[in-house]
Amino acid sequence: MRHPQKEPNKPGDKPTFSIDWEYYSSFLEDSTLSDEQKRELIKTLWSIVMSFVDLGFGVDSTRQALDRRERDERPRKTG
């Protein structure tokens, strides 16, 4: 499955995420749920996952890691 290339986020931009409906609905092919119910289930699970990501790292964990790295590499004043 190919995913379209996205332009990288500019500094200060809030990252965006989207659901690949085709990919995730393939896991529910054998279920008896209607398409609407499948979509609602995927949306609910996605929301839960994103909440955990946000709680654990914030949505932009890469930026946080780079900021921490820059902070740790700065020379420290002594004295």
Residue-level pLDDT at 1: 43
pLDDT per position in the chain (79 positions), as tens? Answer: 444 455 655 666 666 778 888 899 999 999 999 999 999 999 999 999 888 877 776 656 667 677 777 777 766 666 5
pLDDT at 58: 60
- Residue 16 CA to residue 5 CA, distance in Å, equals 13
**Whether 53 contacts 46, CB under 8 Å:** no
Contact 61, 50 (CB under 8 A): no
Task: Give the SS3 label for residue 14.
Answer: coil
Instruction: Look up residue 57 and give its two tokens.
Output: 């790292």
Provide the 3-class DSSP secondary structure of residue 57.
helix
pTM summary value: 0.53
Residue 35's pLDDT is what? Answer: 93
